[in-house]
Amino acid sequence: MDPFVSLAQDNDMAINMGKGKMFPQGPEFIFNGKMVPTFCCCSENGSITSELLTKMLVHIDSCEAIDRSNGIPPFLLLDGHAGAASRLSF
């Protein structure tokens, strides 16, 4: 968060994210030769909802980080349990 930049519009994260804005975003990384920017989201109760999981997977897919050229669909293993951190594995 950049405390020296004012919010462009309250309660609209998309408008306030990016270089030169209040929320400049987190780091990017390279996975399978593709640049993958940080994806940040949350729910009111702090858990991963089906809506958030869908947004996460759409983000990863839009970066083309998972190779699908061999015709084999990617495999996703989810390990979530109450009261502990959840993990996503690709």
Cα–Cα distance measured from residue 29 to residue 36, given in angstroms and rounded to the nearest whole number: 5
Quick check: helix, strand or coil at residue 5? coil
Tokens of 16: 């306030």
Mean pLDDT of the chain: 77
Predicted pLDDT at 1: 67
Q: Which secondary structure element, helix H or strand E, spans residue 79, and what is its range?
A: strand 77-79
**What digits encode the pLDDT tens for the residues 40-64?**
788 888 878 889 889 988 988 898 8
